[in-house]
Amino acid sequence: MKQWIGKHRVLAPSLLVAGLAAVAGGTVLASDHQQTVFTETSPRFDITDVHAFPTTAGRMAIAVTTSSPLLPSQLQNHGFGDVSEEMYQIKVDNTGDVLEDLVFQVTFTGTVPNQIVTVRGPVAPDQTGTANTLLSTPVVAQGSVNTTLGSATGIQVFAGPRDDPFFIDLEQFFRIIPDRKPAFSQPLASLPDTPTASSFRPKGSAVDFLRGINGLSIVIELPTALLTAGGHNSRLGVWATTNRIGGYPAGH
């Protein structure tokens, strides 16, 4: 049994699912990219967004993104962390106590671009909080990345690159708040610090700088009843962690 210590992450609320703080009575709207030197230089540990939303009647999807931004030319060289050193988790609170009652554990083996994804859950964890154990529960989906796995009526899984859905005029944003500009990562660190002729925007317009820039996504669709079973709260708290073997948190 391997032990991990995790990095917690709060997601934005959706129609049926609320972020962790919303369960406690508030509302959290959050998107967070490269917030530390560690996650900037090790982007596979950087959870950038968590989304949860209803799909069809009685079903919902949870999507976790990491490793943004990646240019198309970088996709062949960037992948998910190997199970020997990293575990991705989606955690669900369905009782309102701001502790995970259920977890998905997602691990990867192999080399880019031919990695294999393995998913376990949703299942009650052996531990809660920052210390986490890779469970020996049955695998619910396993197969190649960039492939839809599982059952359309049960649990379906996709893991692989997808276009970053965030819309932002990032070049101008870094000029307004320069301390948020990455110091190490490409291509964002190479953006000029002073305006250029091509960077001026007509009044009332903006540029979607992230169009065509990718992140790595883990998407799980399943019957909502699998997440509410055993719970007594009308809302779900959902967050995600990247967990690094070695006894200290990744990122924060």
pLDDT value of position 185: 60
55 has pLDDT over 90: yes
pLDDT value of position 23: 34
Segment (H or E) for 20: helix 20-23
pLDDT band at residue 89, thresholds of 50, 70 and 90?
very high
Radius of gyration of the chain (CA): 18
pLDDT value of position 238: 94
User: Which residues are within 8 A (CB) of 113 and not within 5 positions of it... i.e. 6 or more apart?
Assistant: 75, 76, 79, 145, 146
φ, ψ dihedrals at 199, nearest 5°: -95, -10
180 or 120, greater pLDDT: 120
pLDDT value of position 69: 63
Query: CA quadruple 114, 115, 116, 121: dihedral positive or negative?
Result: negative
69 or 3, greater pLDDT: 69
pLDDT value of position 81: 87
- Alpha-carbon span 236 to 234, nearest angstrom: 7
pLDDT digits (tens, 9 = 90+) for 58-80: 999 999 988 766 666 666 777 89
Q: Give the whole-number percent of the chain exceeding pLDDT 70.
A: 67
Of 5-19, 97-111, 164-178, the range with the highest mean pLDDT is 97-111
Give the three-class secondary structure for 133: strand
Tokens 């031919």, residue?
114
The residues that bridge with 142 in the sheet, in sequence order, are: 118
Q: Are 52 and 90 in contact (CB under 8 A)?
A: no
pLDDT digits (tens, 9 = 90+) for 129-177: 877 888 889 999 999 999 999 999 999 999 998 877 777 777 777 777 7
Q: Find out whether the peptide bond into 122 is cis, omega within 30 degrees of 0.
A: yes
223 has pLDDT over 50: yes
2 has pLDDT over 50: no
| Per-residue tokens: 192 | 């000029």
140 or 39, greater pLDDT: 140
pLDDT value of position 195: 59
226 or 39, greater pLDDT: 226
Give the three-class secondary structure for 143: strand
In degrees to the nearest 10, what's the CA dihedral of 71, 39, 115, 63?
A: -80
